[in-house]
Structures are given as structure tokens and as C-alpha cells.
Amino acid sequence: MDNLVRLRTVVKQYEPAGPPALGGVDLTVAPGEAVAVMGPSGSGKSTLLNLVAGLDRPSGGEVEVAGTVLNRLSETALARFRRANIGIVFQFFHLLDELTARDNVLLPAQLAGSSRRAARARADELLEALGVAGRADAYPARLSGGERQRVAVARALINRPPLLLADEPTGAVDARAGAQVLGLLRDLNQGGQTVLLVTHDESLAKGAATRIETMRDGRWAA
């Protein structure tokens, strides 16, 4: 496969008046890369990531991921595409409070049609690899920020997505947990996982990315 991500002059305009959140952005990410998009708050980083994730639709241009142009997919097809191709980690974890760590992790596998038994085995393997096996039966409210983020990374990886996305993954954890998240993302990339992350944490970008791009006001900074 050539590029895993290809954006062609992508525009996102939330409001009819005023400047667009993205003003015609190109981006390619090749398999095996770890690309960090940096830039100040409001520069369009989350907008970009949400379009790549298929969580939102562009106002113009084309978003292609893993050889599929997302613009034309129906909501159902988009949801199916996401489950198979995208793992995503958010700043505030987005774990389900009423599920244990393990059940949070295995839910996407069950939604994708795995048996509970196979999903559970894979979930436990990931929780082990991420150093939170001992917390598998705990509910999110009982986990530290760093533990929640590692559980969220396990959930993002359970369906073995070709593309791992992360939006400010160290933005809500303390420095020690931030360093763990950085190490985790770097290890995953060194194991072959393609990563696209957006952050304004320079040490994260420098430590975890193979390439850094900078946005300003919805465009690439010169």
C-alpha cells in the first residue's frame, strides 16, 4: 500500500461566516510513520484528526484512509470502516464508567463480531503488555489518569487497526504518566504501528514522532 492517510485540499468550515477551521490542507502519512501535528490551541488539530477518524465530514477536499475515500461513505459504512481501520485515543480517555477496564477494552472487538472469549483473551494480552493487567477488573473511576490512558490505548488497539490516532494523549495526565504514554506510543511505532497524533506537548512530539508538522490558523505553518 502507498500512503495510509492522504488528505487533498481539505477544508472544514463549521460556521458559514468567518475563517474556516481548516483552509485547504494536504497531508500524507506512510505506513510505519509516526506523525505529530503541533500548533497552538484553536489551530485546527482536533478538526484534522476527527476528519481522518471519520468522526466528522469535510466541507471540501478529500479524506482517504487505507485506500478508502471517506467522503462518500454512509454513516453505517463509516462506522464499519472505523472499527476495522482506526484506533483512537482522546485527551479525556472517553472510557465508559459503567464497564470495567477489561470490558472497555474488549467492547470494540465484540462490536466487530469477535466472540467474547477471543476478545477477552486479546484484551487481557493488551492490558498485560501495557502494564495494567492488575487493573482489569477495576472501573475507570478507580484508575489513575495514566492507567485510564493505558486502558484507552489498549481499547484503541484491540481490533489491530492499521492507523492509531491520538488527540492530546498526555493533555490530562501528570508528568510521569505522560512519559509512560510517550514511551508506549514510541514502542508501538517501533513495532510497526502507524501513528498520527496531535498535541501541543513538544516533548511528546519530539519523543514519539518520526516527523513533526505544525499548523497555524487551519493551515500548515511555513
Ligand X SMILES: Nc1ncnc2c1ncn2[C@@H]1O[C@H](COP(=O)(O)OP(=O)(O)O)[C@@H](O)[C@H]1O
- Enumerate binding residues for ligand X (CB under 6 A): 14, 21, 39, 41-47
Cβ atoms of residues 39 and 221 within 8 Å: yes
Is the Cβ of residue 75 or residue 97 nearer to ligand X in the bound state? 75
- Shortest Å distance, C-beta 215 to Mg ion: 10
Closest to Mg ion by CB, 127 vs 205, is: 205
| Chosen from Mg ion, ligand X, none, partner binding at 39 (C-beta under 5 to 8 Å by type) | ligand X
Tell me how far, at minimum, the Cβ of 6 lies from ligand X, in Å: 20
Residues that bind Mg ion (CB under 5 A): 45-46
Q: Which is nearer to ligand X, 31 or 171 (CB)?
A: 171
* Buried/exposed code over 61-74 (b: 16+ C-beta within 10 A; e: otherwise): bebbbbebebbebe
Minimum CB separation from ligand X for residue 36, in Å?
13
Distance, in Å, from the CA atom of 135 to the CA atom of 68, rounded to the nearest integer, reads 37
Task: State which residue, 21 or 65, has the beta carbon closest to ligand X.
Answer: 21
- Comparing CB distances to ligand X, the nearer of 32 and 42 is 42
Ranked by CB distance to Mg ion, the top (closest) residue is 46
Between CA 4 and CA 24 the distance in angstroms is: 19
Single out the residue of 174, 166, 125 nearest to residue 145, CA to CA: 174
In the complex, least distance from residue 219 CB atom to ligand X, rounded to whole angstroms = 12
The distance of closest approach from Cβ of residue 91 to ligand X in the complex, given in angstroms and rounded to an integer, is 10
169: which residues sit within 8 A by CB, 6+ positions away? 89, 90, 91, 149, 153, 181, 185, 197, 199, 204
